[in-house]
A and B are shown apart, each in its own frame.
Chain A
Amino acid sequence: AQTVTQSQPEMSVQEAETVTLSCTYDTSESDYYLFWYKQPPSRQMILVIRQEAYKQQNATENRFSVNFQKAAKSFSLKISDSQLGDAAMYFCALIQGAQKLVFGQGTRLTINP
């Protein structure tokens, strides 16, 4: 069975600084995808970044980047130059084969002005 673990229920960071959210996962497959989703108070899950397991290069989307360590089954999200609009719940998720996303418990990120 696949599992996703986010060990940080809450994180806070000063505006303009950098923060890293942690995620570990477990799967027996070698081919899978990993995601970070953001859920603001509007409730809609918004895709932040996606990583294909077969790609060694870490994915980057503007201020968002990941550190993907396949052997360690670790997938952390780094947010640079944090902005007030980054405040939200962040979910790490995994999918392989069966077309269902498996989510972690989430990390609530607060941005302090």
Chain B
Amino acid sequence: KAGVTQTPRYLIKTRGQQVTLSCSPISGHRSVSWYQQTPGQGLQFLFEYFSETQRNKGNFPGRFSGRQFSNSRSEMNVSTLELGDSALYLCASSSGQMAPPGYTFGSGTRLTVV
């Protein structure tokens, strides 16, 4: 059973550019969540998609957006990049069931903004 696949693994972008990250969940999983991990702020929830609908959103500016496709693959987009957006971006796949919740994480995309 394939795990959660995030692409690319590493990315270097310039301030002001925009970036798109991709996450392919485990087959059969309909929920994808995104988290930002930085040394200063730790792991913070960005948003969650379930069956192509955003079900929950964290406290991030509108420059951060996402979407989910009919095959459950998800993308997140960050526009007008700032230096502070440098982080490890992790996605987590789950069936979407509440009880019990089970999340499988990808290995993340390391974004560096210069």
Contacts and interface: CB of A to CB of B under 8 A. Distances in A.
B48 interface: yes
A95 interface: yes
Tell me whether chain B's interface is mostly helix, strand or loop, or mixed.
strand
B81 interface: no
B43 A91 contact: yes
Interface residues of B, number: 26
B107 A33 contact: no
A98 interface: yes
Interface stretch (B11-19, B20-28, B67-75, B98-106): B98-106
A6 B43 CA distance: 13
A100 B33 contact: yes
Contacts of A10: none
A101 interface: yes
Interface residues of A, number: 21
Contacts of B106: 44
B48 A43 contact: no
Contacts of A98: 56
A43 B88 contact: yes
